[in-house]
């Protein structure tokens, strides 16, 4: 799909964004483990969500609109089912949640088979690999363009489990909750948690148990740390509680964080911007974009922040400001991979070089997001270089192009759209069909009229 993007006017006044799609998808998956009526308040329809609603209804789930929002409930026979068939048009995160559910619901005496179209199976392979590492192995088979994974319960690995990224934590948490057995693992400080603004609303959280070390054990740990040529980050213990089911939740959906990132990126590129983004969800694992931009000198401020029922949210004031390039590494910036395309685009307005590293998860074979991002930035005249796990770029005073290709990546399309809406003339954005499906509000309101 091709979109014509015109230069937009500076953003002004208060902007209320549509509900966050990640929070909504996560809450809908968790609702499958909560018999009863889970309410998603302030839900708004999009083409993506209409497809999710139809698929959920097709598997027997409760999906109904009432005066307060969208009511979601699990199929009555979910825990007895032996198969789940995924739709090719389901969002990858939502589909991965059901793969994790299937893994957790399986057992030695009850196989659960997940059928998935080939293209979608490749997109959700990181989540399935995470399940395998935790002991939820699956036997694959393929026929007629459909991949089938047969889960047979969990065989805990002998080694200690270390969570490496947000996808891993998401898959492990959903599968552990579905199994009812809980899960213990370790992770580096600041590991992203995609369920941070959803799970507390169901009365749960991934716990951080205290580890009591004797004086001898603490001294031995310090000695081992000194002996290492490269000091390693201390891992922290985590525990998914063992529960037999979740309680139905009353979920108030907050403003979409990805669209707030789009607004922040455009504020860095559009002179005259002065706007407040109202009631945006602000989980620490996904909101690092604003911290990074402030480090570069951007005029971005969280003017109100709250944590109602353990879920962080707030208002964000965005204004145009002078920026200077910086170096950012995923090891030090939680969730950097999730907002790297928007950060790279905002860096086009910065003086000197910006370096983003530690982004190996974005460079998977067949699903490399950094390559199309780099090609897109070069089309605008931006000097860009790629290395094995990152990207380096230098700001450009007058970026512009008549045509650019997002190559099917929703995140890259969102970032390139932000840049195109801040350059003179009109830009043809190709292979960007994800935008009107996932973020139709972006095209209706935020892009603005031709300046």
Extended strands (E) in 182-247: 183-187, 236-240
- Domains of the chain with CATH codes: 3-19+254-446 (3.65.10.10), 21-210+234-252 (3.65.10.10)
Cβ atoms within 10 Å of 255's Cβ, excluding its own: 25
Distance (Å, whole) CA 288 – CA 291: 5
The residue whose two tokens read 């492990």 is 172
Residue 221 φ/ψ, nearest 5 degrees = -60, -45
Strand 350-351 with 323-324, pairing:
parallel
Residue 14 φ/ψ, nearest 5 degrees = -90, 135
9 by DSSP, 3-state: which?
Answer: coil
Q: Extract the tokens encoding 93.
A: 């995160």
92 by DSSP, 3-state: which?
Answer: helix
The residue whose two tokens read 């170096």 is 327
Distance (Å, whole) CA 61 – CA 50: 14
Residue 149 φ/ψ, nearest 5 degrees = -115, 125
Is the CB of residue 238 less than 8 Å from the CB of residue 285? no
Q: Exposed/middle/buried for 433, CB within 10 Å: 0-12, 13-18, 19+?
A: middle
Q: Exposed/middle/buried for 284, CB within 10 Å: 0-12, 13-18, 19+?
A: middle
Q: Dihedral through CA 243, CA 140, CA 56, CA 244, nearest 10?
A: -10
Strand 83-85 with 112-117, pairing:
parallel
pLDDT at 363: 85
Q: How far is CA 153 from the centre of its chain?
A: 27
Cβ atoms within 10 Å of 245's Cβ, excluding its own: 15
Distance (Å, whole) CA 432 – CA 247: 38
The residue whose two tokens read 């801040």 is 422
Residues of the chain falling short of pLDDT 50: 228-231, 449-451
Q: How far is CA 304 from the centre of its chain?
A: 23
pLDDT at 217: 54
pLDDT at 25: 96
pLDDT at 230: 41
Q: Extract the tokens encoding 122.
A: 């490749």
């Amino acid at each position: 799909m091709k979109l014509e993007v015109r230069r937009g006017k500076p953003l002004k006044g208060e902007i209320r964004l549509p509900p966050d799609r990640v929070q909504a998808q996560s809450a809908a998956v968790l609702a499958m483990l909560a018999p009863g009526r889970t309410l998603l308040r302030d839900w708004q329809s999009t083409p993506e969500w209409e497809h999710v609603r139809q698929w959920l209804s097709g598997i027997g789930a409760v999906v109904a609109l009432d005066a307060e929002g969208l009511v979601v409930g699990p199929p009555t026979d979910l825990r007895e089912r032996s198969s789940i068939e995924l739709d090719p048009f389901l969002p990858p995160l939502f589909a991965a949640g059901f793969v994790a559910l299937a893994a957790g619901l399986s057992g030695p005496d009850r196989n659960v088979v997940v059928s998935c179209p080939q293209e979608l199976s490749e997109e959700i392979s990181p989540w399935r690999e995470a399940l395998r590492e935790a002991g939820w192995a699956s036997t694959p088979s393929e026929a007629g363009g459909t991949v089938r994974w047969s889960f047979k319960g969990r065989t805990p690995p002998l080694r200690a489990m270390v969570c490496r990224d947000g996808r891993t934590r998401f898959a492990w948490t959903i599968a552990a909750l579905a199994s009812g057995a809980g899960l213990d693992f370790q992770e580096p400080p600041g590991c992203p948690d995609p369920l941070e603004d959803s799970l507390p609303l169901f009365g749960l959280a991934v716990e951080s148990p205290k580890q009591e070390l004797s004086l001898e054990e603490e001294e031995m740990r310090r000695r081992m740390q000194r002996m290492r040529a490269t000091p390693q980050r201390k891992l922290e213990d985590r525990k998914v509680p063992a529960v037999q089911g979740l309680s139905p939740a009353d979920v108030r959906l907050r403003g979409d964080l990805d669209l707030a990132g789009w607004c922040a990126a455009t504020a860095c590129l559009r002179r005259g911007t002065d706007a407040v983004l109202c009631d945006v969800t602000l989980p620490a694992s996904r909101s690092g974009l604003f911290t990074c931009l402030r480090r570069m000198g951007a005029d971005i401020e969280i003017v109100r922040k709250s944590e109602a029922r353990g879920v962080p949210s707030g208002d964000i004031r965005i204004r145009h400001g002078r920026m200077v390039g910086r170096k950012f590494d995923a090891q030090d910036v939680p969730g950097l991979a999730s907002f790297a395309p928007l950060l790279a685009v905002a860096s086009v307005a910065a003086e000197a070089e910006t370096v983003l590293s530690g982004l190996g998860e974005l460079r998977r074979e067949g699903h490399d997001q950094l390559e199309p991002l780099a090609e897109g930035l070069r089309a605008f005249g931006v000097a860009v270089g790629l290395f094995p796990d990152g990207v380096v770029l230098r700001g450009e005073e007058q970026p512009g192009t008549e045509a650019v290709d997002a190559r099917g990546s929703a995140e890259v399309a969102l970032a390139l759209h932000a840049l195109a809406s801040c350059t003179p003339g009109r830009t043809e954005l190709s292979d960007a069909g994800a935008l009107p499906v996932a973020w139709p509000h972006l095209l209706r309101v935020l892009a603005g009229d031709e300046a």
